[in-house]
Structure formats: structure tokens, C-alpha cells
Amino acid sequence: APADEPAGRDGVAGTVTVFAAASLTESFRTLGREFEAAHPDATVTFNHAGSSALAAQITQGAPADVFASASPVNMTTVADAGAVAGTPYVIARNQPVIAVPKGNPGRVAGLADLARPGVKVALCAEQVPCGTAARTALATAGVTLTPVTLEQDVKGALAKVRLGEVDAALVYRTDVRPAAADVDAVEFPEAAVAVNDYPIAVLTDAPNPVAARAFVELVRSDRGRAVLAAAGFQQSGRG
């Protein structure tokens, strides 16, 4: 068990296992390297998957120290199972944008354009955070539309924009950034009400709670925020 490993100078040592949403892969990889540099006796192991799958694994007793979810819903599931130690912190927020193929062939300038006939739109299904966000934003804008597809995750919606299969999709800003070669982002005012939170928490059964707390601290630190911001996440107030 990792907890039995000898403690380093600051008590942070051994393996810390982080279950994190797939969309945090790149940012957390950077942070993990920095964490290991700062704590030579510690190793970070990531398990990246969909937040819901991670939540299921944790409730089934997976040996995890930290859970970073892409939506509060899955964090709630875990918390309701009594697996969260303390309160989750929001580490980042993600704002919806309209992704359009390079050059914007559908000439989409705002949410209202999505309802134009002939414009093919991909949304996320309402079960996933980007779907909830899209619903909120559209409701706020008073737009009703019939998408051609309700994607299971942002990647699916984005892929269809990249390949020109749809003229627009409601996705997150962080998603558009790595696809900038094929995709343009159209910001819209209603996005403000549909921001999605990324909560993080140390888990009750964490085998290595000391290191777990240290990792969460790193993510919440200024350095952590900077890395997340570089990936396109919005800042969140502490707590």
C-alpha cells in the first residue's frame, strides 16, 4: 500500500492516484510533472476517463486519492456515496462557445443563427454537462432548435464540426483551442449563465491522503490556475 512508503521531507511521498476527467489530461500531465519535481519521493498516477465512469469506479471502491470531475453532478454522486473527504473545490470553469468549421460556412454569428433552417447543429445530450449548458444558454436566448444529433460528449460534437458534418456545435472553449486549425469559436453573450464547474476533492478512502492534499493544493495554487488557464479554462474563485 502506498501509504506505507517512507515520508519525504515534507511528508509528501509515495504514489498519489488521481482520477481525473479526460478533458483535464493535458493540464494535469503538466501539473503532475511539476508535483513530482517538487516532491521527489512522490509519484502521481493518473486515471483519465469520463467523469461518470470514474465516479462509478470510486463508488465501487477503486483505490483513488483524488477525484477531479468535469461536472458537479458526478462529484455529487461520489459525495452522496460518502466517498469525499471534506467539500469539493471548484478548480476551473468552462464556458460554452459555438464551434464552427474554419471559415464559418454556415455564417453563424450567435445562438439565433443556429435555429435558421438549413443550419445543421450538433448539441450534447442533456445528460452530460455540455448538454445542460447548451440547454440553459438556448433557453436564456429564447432559441428553440432541432439539432441533428445529441452527442454523448464534447469530442463527438467537435469532431463533426471539424469534418464539416455540421455547421455549428455548442462546445466548451477549452475544446476548441487544440482544434484551432479546423475550427473557429464564436462567442455569445448567453454563455455566461451556462458556465460549467470542475470540482476536485480528496477521497475518504484515499490510501495516501497527505500527498492527495498536497496535489489538490498544487492544482488550486496560482501555478495550477495558470496551467489551467493556459488550456482555456476560466478562473474560479477559491472555494
Partner 1 sequence: MTVPADAPPRRRRPGQRVPVALAVPAALGLLFLVLPLIGLLARTPWDSLPQRLTAPGVLTALRLSVQSATLATLLCLALGVPLAWLLARAQFPGRRIVRALVTVPLVLPPVVGGLALLLVFGRRGLLGQWLDTTFGVTLPFTTTGVVLAEAFVAMPFLVIAVEGALRGADSRYEEAATTLGAGRWTTFTQVTLPLIAPGVAAGAVLCWARALGEFGATITFAGNYPGRTQTMPLAVYLALETDLEAAIVLSLILLTVSVAILAGLRDRWIGHP
> Which residues form the interface with partner 1 (CB under 8 A)?
22-23, 25-26, 45-50, 52-53, 56-57, 60-63, 73, 120, 122, 125, 127-128, 147-152, 155-156, 159-160, 162-165, 178-179
| Closer residue to partner 1, CB minimum distance, 162 or 220 | 162
The enclosing H or E element of 185 equals strand 183-186
Q: With CA atoms as reference, report the closest residue to 28 among 18, 14, 38.
A: 18
Shortest spacing between CB 28 and partner 1, in angstroms: 11
Shortest spacing between CB 12 and partner 1, in angstroms: 20
Whether the Cβ atoms of residue 66 and residue 47 lie closer than 8 Å to each other: no
Shortest spacing between CB 145 and partner 1, in angstroms: 13
Strand positions, DSSP E, 5-131? 14-21, 42-49, 66-68, 84-94, 96-101, 121-124
| Closer residue to partner 1, CB minimum distance, 46 or 233 | 46
Amino acid (one-letter) located at 40: P
Shortest spacing between CB 237 and partner 1, in angstroms: 27
Shortest spacing between CB 185 and partner 1, in angstroms: 15
| Closer residue to partner 1, CB minimum distance, 45 or 221 | 45
| Closer residue to partner 1, CB minimum distance, 34 or 205 | 205
State how far the Cα of 180 lies from the Cα of 170, in Å rounded to an integer.
15
The SS3 of residue 78 is: helix
| Closer residue to partner 1, CB minimum distance, 26 or 190 | 26
Neighbours of 166 (CB within 10 A): 25
State how far the Cα of 131 lies from the Cα of 108, in Å rounded to an integer.
19
| Closer residue to partner 1, CB minimum distance, 23 or 94 | 23
CA distances from 112 to 17, 100, 137, 146, 170 (A): 44, 14, 11, 12, 13
Q: With CA atoms as reference, report the closest residue to 62 among 73, 70, 74, 53.
A: 53
| Closer residue to partner 1, CB minimum distance, 128 or 214 | 128
With cell 511539476, the residue in question is 34
Shortest spacing between CB 83 and partner 1, in angstroms: 11
Shortest spacing between CB 124 and partner 1, in angstroms: 10
